[in-house]
Amino acid sequence: MSDPNLGRLLNDRYQLAELIGKGAMGRVYRAQDVLLGDVPVAVKFLARTLLNQKMRDRFKSEARTCALLGQKTMHIVRVMDYGVDDDEVPFYVMEYLQGESLSDVIRTRSLVLPRFLSISRQICLGLQCAHHDGVIHRDIKPGNILVSHDTSIGELVKILDFGIARLLQADNGQTNSFMGTLAYSSPEQMEGKELDNRSDIYSLGIMMYEMLTGRLPLQAETHTFGSWYKAHHFQLPRSFDAITPSLKLPKALENLVMSCLAKSPSDRPQSAAEVLKALEPLEERFGPGRQMGHRIEAVLSKFQGVTDSKRQDSVSPDEFCKLTSWPKSKPLAEIVFAQPLKTSDEVLATLWMMMPKQEIQRRLLATRYNQFLFMLAPHPMLLWLTALHNREHGPRWLPCYLDLKTPQGQQMTRLLAENGLYRLLFFALEEPQRCVTVMSSKIADLQRDRLREWADISRTFVSTAQPNNTKTLLKQELEKVKPKILMKLEER
């Protein structure tokens, strides 16, 4: 039976192309973001069997959490959008990465030690970031780890589905229900207790054992809750020698994995940082894993404001934007301004803005809309309007005025016309030293043609008044069109 979703245009933006994954919690499709020029994305729908209003609300909350985490670390898959389709089924949109799940990687053979160390280290970096923000995964397992290739660092590892298990557990009112994956769940999770990061570390220990041996450290008599409850509470993990006598592992690594598998949370490593610290000397000693770690840290440092020119030559435009610092000539205030940004290959059209960190978080999942208003007389000026809208927080209006009798106004207008998109650079008032996140907004072809025309006619036009006169008129026009724009946004 053919999938009715294939070929479907979701929310007038995401063209569903291929089913790439499915499970009890929902389906995942490869799609094209037609608004941004057919950029590939992944769209995950929540399973219909899990639908109710409380679930929809929590699904949105979890999508926002994932979006924020994905901006902080490259080891958690980025969530870029959230919505509800025509059948009231919630979905979220993630970055699309070509790769395979860790379960597929280890299905046929266990990992050699250098690769194991590199993958484990990257998983811990993702967990460390999430745990620092008080977010527990609750379903760490090979199926929720994506392994892909990155030209900068080689093998790149990302964690999927943060918070989905908590989402389902919080919605379920039955005390005898269980959400998670039985073979990887901690003893305290089996008991339904409140969890902390040490539960994820237990699941990490089971996964690390499996990565090294191809087998699970515990054996349940049957695949039932009761059997796995007994295994996690009373069964000692099998020794590495008992599973693979030929496997010669450093004793320090065996001890680390076994400590993660301790029945009591107080006997495990207390944080992902502790696991990372234990892995570090092993990487130094046993092959290229540590070198890979250094390369990953070098890429991560680009997101922390390091502006080494040699690195900038090899980063993507979005990464380049994240390297920028707030100009010293601009006040630390809630302002919006345009600026051309030159990379080694091109000049980007960028819109810079500063706002409170909480407001930025509210706009991580927002519909982006742009419109351009132009007045030739009494002075040529362009109003470049960007709106960020979501149903919970309404619109955030970001107007920017370009004087088309100035070289900078001419340059920005022509860049917008030529590039067909621009990047929005967000800076937080509380931490103004670095760019927090970058978004893109595409410009319709008709608008691009108009931008070219307006730039051309403005060059030869003789101004009869001061620029502020036209700016005042454009502000009045903006107030008139805002209700119409808002109506369009709320219909999406």
Sequence ranges of the binding site: 44
**Residues classed as catalytic:** 139
- Residue numbers in the known binding site for ATP are 44
Q: Phi, psi at residue 239, to the nearest 5°? A: -70, 155
- Sort residue 248 into left (φ over 0), alpha (ψ -120 to 50) or beta: beta
Helix locations, 150-224, DSSP H:
164-171, 187-190, 197-213
Supply 385's token pair. Answer: 């309007």
Chain centre to alpha carbon of residue 405: 40
Q: Phi, psi at residue 125, to the nearest 5°? A: -65, -40
* DSSP class per residue in 430-490: SSTTSEEEEEEEE--HHHHHHHHHHHHHHHHPPP-S-HHHHHHHHHHHHHHHHHHHHHHHH
Alpha carbons 299 and 437: distance in angstroms, whole number: 16
Farthest-apart Cα atoms in the chain, separation = 89
Alpha carbons 363 and 265: distance in angstroms, whole number: 37
Alpha carbons 156 and 54: distance in angstroms, whole number: 35
Among the listed residues 64, 72, 73, the one whose alpha carbon sits nearest the alpha carbon of residue 92: 64
Order of strands, sheet of 367-375, starting from the edge strand that comes earlier in the sequence:
367-375, 381-390, 394-403
Determine how many CB atoms are found less than 10 A away from the CB of residue 234.
10
Burial class (CB within 10 angstroms; exposed 0-12, middle 13-18, buried 19+) of 291:
middle
Burial class (CB within 10 angstroms; exposed 0-12, middle 13-18, buried 19+) of 244:
middle
- What are the CA-CA distances from residue 286 to residues 114, 200, 209, 249, 371 (Å)? 6, 26, 18, 10, 56
